[in-house]
């Protein structure tokens, strides 16, 4: 048995990695399992998934920073799959001479039990001296983890033990309190207040009380003290004191009491055993009892209620104690002073640990005023109902939900219902559908806004289905908060009046139609006498009134007629009189009163003849057709113009570069322009009348499925529509054209569809160029594989598919084991050949549907879609086997290249692609650690442990290197390509020195530095050491420029800006003029504002600035206007294939032009071929850097190497 087995709480001891070193018996009782199964496992196995995440993201970082945590609420995952809430505390200590973490776990319900058992443990610990030392050490660690005050005072009231919380309250460390008197610690005033409790504890009686104390920082706190006597062999040796901070609880209690006072609400509790009752202060105030007296028992409360109400209360309490159901009652009470009233009583059960009912608790609220208002309201409602039922008018009232509350007898009589048939029904049930719509859309919104409506016309429906026309006027009643309560409506029956109005309106409508329908002047002509009778309209057409025109003669009619038309008019009349026509009809011009000519249509018919057969009376009408004549003239003119425009449009459409096809409303072709004839292979005359798709055959370029018919879509939707993307046209001779088009409807003035015009043009070349650019943007230039950006896009698509369809896929991370050896031994160009051969080997091992990507350097990734882990494991092992057999040959050397593969399932368990890639990267690292050239399949239990252990290892190594100068500065020269440079240009590179003397490349430790925000410290180290090296040079004039790289975190960190500016000020202008800071283009654009400010600050000190990796991340040169840099360092992806890739050559020349325009110098990176160097000189690059020109070396040798080169 170990000392911590005697502790009354669960204890777990772990290493810094989380591996369990030991547990005590309480832990096994709480969580289950055996000591053997727990030791060696991870502490995360004790927690559910959510607890593990919280442990990784919050607990471990806090422990690493502070060395302890306190009072963390988590759930413990037990062996029987149950979960127990626990309080978690932890401190850094030592176990068997090694650093270890001591975790104490308290079941939340057992915290007070632990305090009592702590006293018992104290007594047991004194049994032996040997156990005492060990127990004291562990008890101190545990009590220090408790947030409250814990101490032991002997019978002389001197401190024998105190936990760390005393330092927060009294400002004195626990070791400083040993032997200190309790009186001296508390002060005379507080000691005097506590004296009675101290004496009680020394008398062997447990004490609990509340006290207000002043903390060391001067703040006031409320505490709850618990004194537990320490009795040995019947004699009190002292007492344990535990003091909890209840300041927040006290504030809550005071706020609750104030809320009860304002709301006239009191609270109470009652324990059945002993009939013990506790009242809040407001309970005493409501019932008028003395607050200093104890609360009356339940039996004694009979005098406070009316006898009948107390009996009801007793019955309800008994029922609640039996059933456990809560209750609410309204009771009449009477204070001892005689004043009475109403209160609302609420109660519920209180249960003990075993679930048995031990008592009741609840509230009472004074409701006398509310009760009186309720009675008054009920009386008013009764009176209102009586008024409704007896008034002779049609009345109804409606609640806020639109249901009928009251209706008058006249209302019922009119509609033929009984009262019980309508009360509670929606008032809209008695309206016609049209009236309901009118009410909902227009009347009710205005009614609720204004609170009234007047004489709104509705139609109601009687019980027999008859329609009743009504006018409704209503007012709206609102509550105190402005919410609608009810409305009162007066209804007028206007059915008879509406019926008469409708009949009269119909008669007026018929008369108006008759008058407006003729719109003609009438005339009667006696051929024998020359008498003419006209109506007022006839005179009005000529601009006269009947009174003004006087007697009309046939001579007058001849005088106002146009002379050119008189012969024809007379001829028509003669023919009619002869019986050669049924009527006389002529369109003639007459002179208006104003002198202008008007057109009229003159119609007449011979009605009677004389006895000898001569024409007598002719009746006719005359209609003003002046406007019609004008419209006819406009139509004729517009027709001529339209014909001219049509011909112009035809010539235009035959001349433009776009193809045009028009169809009729049925989708049949009626015209093709010459471009359309050439692209479809059909002549316009051949295509006439054919269905569109017979001539215009279009397919999807990728699927080769027929593309949707744009003309049909245009006709269906009545709007302009375009073709789907990637559409191709198949001509009559099977030539393919990539096309873009739009189809627009041809509508007449009434909006009716006349046909469709389809316009399209050949985009084959643009699509080819776009496809090539897209390919370049999504594929690696060296291997032709998918690049990182496209890989992450496909990875995200695959994860979404897994989450939405519950499908299963797999992801491989592949790292070449010996690539660096080939690169270092043979150069980058040969390394590129190796990458190309490996890419082909990997492509042969996977399906064409799978995604094979090069992520960068010698890292590859494969997405295996719809692939189980078992199948993926076989594919991964096949790749390992093939790579094991593969030998890379260069000249007379053979290299064996292996692969380390991390394999991860891709399913719906993952929340993000970043998590999947992290797991794959961890698994790949695990494969390397296990011996390389193997597959490591990811599984849940090892991912977090390996990732954390790996990352913590790097962080500790980085911090050690920073503190102990474990980094070394290297440098690589930058050669001038235009003439002879005055001094050396070089870039500072960073290496980490291993314990065995080997060097670590920055690619190994800088990712961890960035992840844990150590990279700014690394930047400070490099910049300060580089500046120191410059300042210590014996011949500083030999250095013209020394470039130092800065990370994105430093560029965006204002604290780093301040530090750097202070350093540069200390260096002085002479050193600053030789410094150059390199910031990558991506970092600069991402942090454009911070980068611009920082660049201006350092350039003001004389430091030059280079924009590194130029061309790698930005899509526009516009940001250069905001960044006043001195050099552009062109990204190596353009330089490596400069000679073989014309697009890269064009891009570099473009960069040079931009640099010249802005007065900047250009630097080319990764120059490792002579022909590349020649091309850079030819196109005008200013500087070059790469393995061809200089291998990186320690910075101390930079001047020596230059001197040897000059010699």
Whether residue 979 has pLDDT greater than 70: yes
Query: pLDDT tens across 120-140, in order?
Result: 555 554 544 455 556 566 666
CA dihedral for 445, 449, 455, 461, sign (positive or negative): positive
Q: Which whole number is the average pLDDT over 679-705?
A: 88
Instruction: Using the structure block, give the residue that is written with the tokens 């006398």.
Output: 368
Whether residue 649 has pLDDT greater than 70: no
Residue 1207 has what pLDDT? Answer: 35
Q: Which domains does the chain have, with CATH numbers?
A: 1-145 (3.30.450.20), 148-245 (3.30.450.20), 263-366 (3.30.450.20), 381-495 (3.30.450.20), 519-624 (3.30.450.20), 657-769 (3.30.450.20), 788-938 (3.30.70.270), 958-1206 (3.20.20.450)
CA angle 1054, 1060, 1062 (to 5 degrees): 105
Q: Which whole number is the average pLDDT over 503-532?
A: 72
- SS3 assignment for 351-395: ECCCCCEEEEEEEEEECHHHHHHHHHHHHHHHHHHHHHHHCCCEE
Residue 1127 has what pLDDT? Answer: 93
Query: pLDDT tens across 171-182, in order?
Result: 888 888 888 998
Q: For residues 15 and 26, is the Cβ–Cβ distance under 8 A? A: no
Q: For residues 438 and 447, is the Cβ–Cβ distance under 8 A? A: no
CA angle 31, 33, 37 (to 5 degrees): 125
Query: pLDDT tens across 25-78, in order?
Result: 888 888 888 888 889 999 888 888 878 888 888 888 888 888 888 888 888 888
Residue 136 has what pLDDT? Answer: 60
What percentage of the chain reaches a pLDDT higher than 70? 88
Strand order in the sheet with 207-214: 159-162, 149-154, 235-245, 220-232, 207-214
Whether residue 515 has pLDDT greater than 50: no
Which of 536 and 2 is assigned the larger pLDDT? Answer: 536
Report the distance separating Cα 1206 and Cα 834, nearest Å: 36
pTM: 0.32
User: Quick one: pLDDT band at residue 766, thresholds 50, 70, 90?
Assistant: confident
User: Quick one: pLDDT band at residue 1172, thresholds 50, 70, 90?
Assistant: very high
Q: Which residues contact 328 (CB under 8 A, 6 or more apart)?
A: 344, 345, 346
Q: Which whole number is the average pLDDT over 562-582?
A: 90
Q: For residues 431 and 457, is the Cβ–Cβ distance under 8 A? A: no
Residue 1206 structure tokens: 């000059």
Report the distance separating Cα 570 and Cα 593, nearest Å: 23
Whether residue 949 has pLDDT greater than 80: no
516 backbone dihedrals φ, ψ, rounded to 5°: -70, -25
Whether residue 1114 has pLDDT greater than 60: no
Highest mean pLDDT among 124-133, 150-159, 1088-1097: 150-159
Which of 606 and 139 is assigned the larger pLDDT? Answer: 606
Report the distance separating Cα 1069 and Cα 1030, nearest Å: 12
Q: In the predicted model, what is the mean pLDDT of the chain?
A: 84
Q: Which whole number is the average pLDDT over 275-283?
A: 84
Q: Could you tell me the end-to-end alpha-carbon distance of the chain, in angstroms, rounded to an integer?
A: 78
Segment (H or E) for 260:
helix 247-262
Whether residue 511 has pLDDT greater than 50: no
Report the distance separating Cα 818 and Cα 897, nearest Å: 5
Q: Which residues of 961-1000 are buried (b: 16+ CB within 10 A; e: fewer)?
A: bbeeebbbbbbbbbbbbeeebebbbbbbbbbbeeeeeeeb
Q: For residues 243 and 235, is the Cβ–Cβ distance under 8 A? A: no
Whether residue 943 has pLDDT greater than 50: no
Residue 1029 has what pLDDT? Answer: 93
Report the distance separating Cα 89 and Cα 70, nearest Å: 5
User: Quick one: pLDDT band at residue 250, thresholds 50, 70, 90?
Assistant: low
Q: How many CB atoms lie within 10 A of CB 362?
A: 19
Q: Which residues of 169-205 are buried (b: 16+ CB within 10 A; e: fewer)?
A: bbeeebeebeebebbebbeeebbeebeebbebbbeee
Q: How many CB atoms lie within 10 A of CB 612?
A: 5
Q: For residues 305 and 289, is the Cβ–Cβ distance under 8 A? A: no
Which of 650 and 290 is assigned the larger pLDDT? Answer: 290
Taking alpha carbons only, the member of 510, 516, 553, 556 closest to residue 533 is 553
Task: Check residue 788 and give left, alpha or beta (phi > 0: left; psi -120 to 50: alpha).
Answer: alpha
Q: How many CB atoms lie within 10 A of CB 487?
A: 22
Whether residue 1187 has pLDDT greater than 60: yes
In this predicted structure, which of 371-375, 695-699, 945-949 has the lowest mean pLDDT? 945-949
User: Quick one: pLDDT band at residue 369, thresholds 50, 70, 90?
Assistant: confident
Query: pLDDT tens across 400-447, in order?
Result: 889 998 888 888 889 999 989 999 999 999 999 999 999 989 999 999
In this predicted structure, which of 818-827, 862-871, 1168-1177 has the lowest mean pLDDT? 818-827
Which of 1114 and 438 is assigned the larger pLDDT? Answer: 438
Residue 1084 structure tokens: 């600069």
User: By three-state DSSP, how is residue 1093 classified?
Assistant: helix
User: Quick one: pLDDT band at residue 251, thresholds 50, 70, 90?
Assistant: low
Segment (H or E) for 742:
strand 736-747
Whether residue 585 has pLDDT greater than 80: yes
Report the distance separating Cα 1151 and Cα 1164, nearest Å: 11
Residue 586 β-bridge partners: 602
Residue 1206 has what pLDDT? Answer: 39
User: Quick one: pLDDT band at residue 351, thresholds 50, 70, 90?
Assistant: confident
Report the distance separating Cα 1184 and Cα 1181, nearest Å: 8
Query: pLDDT tens across 832-854, in order?
Result: 999 999 999 999 999 988 999 99
Residue 945 has what pLDDT? Answer: 41
Residue 839 has what pLDDT? Answer: 93
Whether residue 1201 has pLDDT greater than 70: no
Residue 62 structure tokens: 């806090």
Q: For residues 935 and 880, is the Cβ–Cβ distance under 8 A? A: yes
User: Quick one: pLDDT band at residue 474, thresholds 50, 70, 90?
Assistant: very high
Residue 20 has what pLDDT? Answer: 92
CA angle 804, 807, 810 (to 5 degrees): 120
């Amino acid at each position: 048995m170990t000392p911590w087995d005697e502790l009354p709480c669960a204890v777990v001891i772990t290493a810094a990695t989380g591996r369990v070193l030991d547990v005590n018996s309480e832990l096994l009782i709480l969580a289950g399992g055996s000591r053997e199964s727990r030791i060696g496992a991870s502490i995360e196995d004790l927690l559910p998934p959510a607890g593990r995440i919280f442990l990784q993201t919050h607990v471990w970082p806090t422990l690493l920073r502070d060395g302890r945590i306190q009072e963390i609420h988590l759930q413990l995952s037990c062996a029987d799959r149950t979960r127990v809430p626990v309080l978690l505390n932890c401190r850094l200590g030592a176990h068997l001479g090694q650093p270890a973490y001591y975790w104490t776990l308290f079941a939340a319900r057992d915290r007070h039990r632990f305090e009592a058992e702590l006293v018992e443990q104290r007594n047991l610990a004194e049994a032996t001296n040997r156990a005492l030392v060990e127990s004291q050490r562990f008890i101190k660690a545990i009590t220090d983890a408790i947030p409250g005050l814990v101490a032991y005072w002997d019978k002389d009231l001197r401190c024998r033990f105190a936990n760390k919380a005393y330092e927060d309250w009294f400002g004195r460390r626990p070791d400083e309190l040993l032997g200190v008197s309790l009186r001296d610690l508390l002060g005379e005033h507080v000691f005097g207040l506590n004296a009675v409790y101290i004496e009680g504890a020394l008398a062997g009686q447990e004490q609990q009380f509340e006290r207000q104390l002043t903390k060391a920082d001067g703040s006031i706190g409320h505490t709850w003290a618990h004194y537990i006597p320490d009795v040995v062999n019947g004699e009190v040796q002292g007492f344990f004191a535990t003091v909890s901070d209840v300041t927040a609880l006290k504030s809550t209690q005071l706020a609750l009491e104030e809320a009860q006072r304002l709301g006239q609400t009191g609270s109470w509790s009652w324990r059945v055993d002993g009939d013990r009752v506790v009242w809040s202060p407001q309970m005493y105030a409501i019932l008028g009892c003395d607050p200093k007296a104890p609360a009356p028992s339940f039996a004694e409360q009979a005098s406070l209620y009316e006898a009948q109400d107390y009996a009801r209360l007793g019955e309800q309490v008994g029922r609640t104690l039996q059933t456990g159901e809560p209750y609410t009652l309204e009771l009449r009470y009477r204070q001892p002073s005689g004043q009475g009233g109403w209160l609302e009583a609420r109660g519920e059960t209180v249960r003990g640990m075993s679930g048995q009912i031990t008592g009741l608790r609840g509230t009472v609220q004074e409701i006398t005023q509310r009760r009186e208002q309720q009675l008054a309201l009920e009386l008013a409602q009764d009176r209102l109902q009586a008024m409704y039922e007896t008034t002779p008018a049609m009345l109804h009232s409606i609640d806020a939900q639109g249901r009928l509350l009251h209706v008058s007898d006249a209302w019922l009589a009119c509609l033929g219902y009984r009262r019980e048939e309508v009360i509670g029904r929606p008032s809209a049930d008695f309206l016609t559908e049209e009236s309901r719509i009118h009410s909902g859309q227009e009347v009710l919104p205005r009614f609720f806004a204004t609170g009234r409506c007047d004489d709104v016309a509705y139609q109601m429906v009687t019980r027999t289905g008859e329609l009743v026309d009504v006018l409704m006027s209503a007012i709206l009643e609102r509550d105190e908060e402005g919410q609608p309560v009810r409305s009162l409506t007066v209804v007028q029956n206007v059915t008879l009046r509406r019926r008469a109005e409708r009949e009269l309106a119909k008669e007026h409508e018929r008369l108006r139609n008759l008058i407006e329908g003729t719109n003609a002047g009438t005339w009667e002509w006696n051929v024998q006498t020359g008498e003419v009778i006209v109506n007022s309209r006839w005179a009005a057409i000529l601009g006269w009134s009947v009174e003004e025109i006087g007697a009309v003669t046939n001579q007058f009619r001849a005088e106002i007629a146009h002379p050119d038309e008189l012969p024809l008019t007379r001829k028509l009349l003669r023919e009619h009189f002869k019986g050669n026509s049924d009527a006389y009809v002529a369109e003639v011009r007459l002179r208006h009163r104003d002198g202008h000519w008007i057109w009229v249509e003159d119609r007449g018919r011979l009605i009677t003849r004389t006895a000898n057969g001569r024409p007598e009376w002719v009746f006719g009408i005359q209609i003003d057709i002046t406007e019609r004549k004008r419209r006819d003239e406009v139509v004729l003119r517009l027709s001529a113009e339209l014909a001219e425009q049509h011909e112009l449009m035809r010539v235009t459409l035959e001349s433009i570069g776009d193809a045009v096809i028009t169809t009729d409303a049925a989708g049949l072709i009626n015209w093709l322009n010459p471009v359309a004839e050439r692209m479809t292979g059909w002549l316009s005359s051949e295509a006439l009348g054919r269905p569109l798709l017979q001539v215009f055959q279009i397919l999807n370029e990728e699927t080769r499925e027929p593309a949707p018919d744009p003309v049909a879509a245009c006709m269906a939707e009545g709007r302009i529509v375009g073709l789907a993307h990637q559409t191709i046209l198949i001509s009559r001779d099977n030539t393919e054209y990539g096309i873009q088009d739009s189809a627009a409807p041809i509508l007449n003035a009434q909006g009716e569809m006349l046909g469709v015009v389809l316009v399209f043009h050949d985009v084959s070349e643009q699509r080819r160029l776009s496809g090539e650019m897209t390919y370049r943007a999504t594929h690696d230039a060296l291997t032709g594989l998918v690049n990182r950006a496209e890989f992450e896009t496909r990875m995200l698509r695959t994860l979404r598919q897994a989450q939405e369809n519950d499908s299963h896929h797999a992801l491989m991370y592949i790292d070449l084991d010996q690539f660096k050896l080939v690169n270092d031994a043979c150069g980058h160009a040969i390394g590129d050949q190796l990458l190309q051969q490996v890419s082909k080997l990997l492509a042969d091992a996977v399906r064409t549907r799978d995604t094979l990507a090069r992520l960068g350097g010698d890292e590859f990734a494969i997405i295996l879609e719809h692939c189980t882990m078992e199948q993926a494991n076989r594919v991964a092992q096949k790749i390992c086997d093939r790579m094991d057999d593969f030998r890379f040959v260069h000249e007379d050397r053979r290299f064996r290249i292996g692969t380390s593969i991390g394999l991860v399932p891709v399913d719906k368990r993952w929340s993000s692609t970043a998590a999947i890639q992290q797991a794959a990267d961890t698994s790949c690292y695990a494969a390397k650690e296990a011996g390389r050239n193997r597959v490591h399949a990811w599984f849940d239990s090892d991912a977090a442990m390996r990732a954390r252990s790996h990352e913590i290892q790097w962080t500790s190594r980085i911090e050690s290197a920073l503190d102990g100068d474990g980094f070394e500065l290297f440098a690589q020269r930058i050669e001038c390509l235009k003439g002879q440079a005055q001094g050396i240009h070089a870039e500072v590179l960073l290496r980490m020195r291993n314990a065995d003397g080997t060097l670590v490349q920055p690619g190994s430790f800088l990712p961890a530095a960035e992840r844990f925000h150590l990279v700014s410290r690394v930047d400070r180290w490099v910049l300060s050491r580089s500046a120191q090296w410059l300042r210590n040079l014996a011949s500083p004039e030999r250095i013209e420029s020394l470039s130092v790289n800065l990370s994105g975190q430093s560029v965006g960190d204002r604290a780093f800006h301040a530090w750097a500016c202070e350093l540069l000020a200390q260096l002085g202008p002479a050193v600053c003029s030789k410094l150059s800071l390199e910031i990558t283009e991506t970092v600069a654009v991402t942090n454009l504002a911070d980068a611009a400010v920082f660049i201006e600050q350092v350039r003001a000190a004389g430091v030059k600035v280079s924009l590194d990796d130029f061309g790698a991340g930005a899509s526009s040169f516009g940001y250069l206007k905001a960044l006043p840099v001195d050099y552009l360092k062109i990204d190596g992806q353009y330089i490596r294939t400069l000679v073989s890739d014309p697009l890269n050559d064009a891009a570099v020349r473009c960069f040079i032009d931009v640099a010249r325009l802005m007065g900047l110098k250009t630097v080319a990176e990764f120059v490792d071929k002579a022909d590349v160097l020649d091309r850079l000189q030819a196109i005008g690059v200013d500087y070059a850097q790469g393995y061809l020109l200089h291998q990186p070396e320690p910075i101390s040798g930079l001047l020596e190497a230059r001197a040897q080169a000059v010699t």
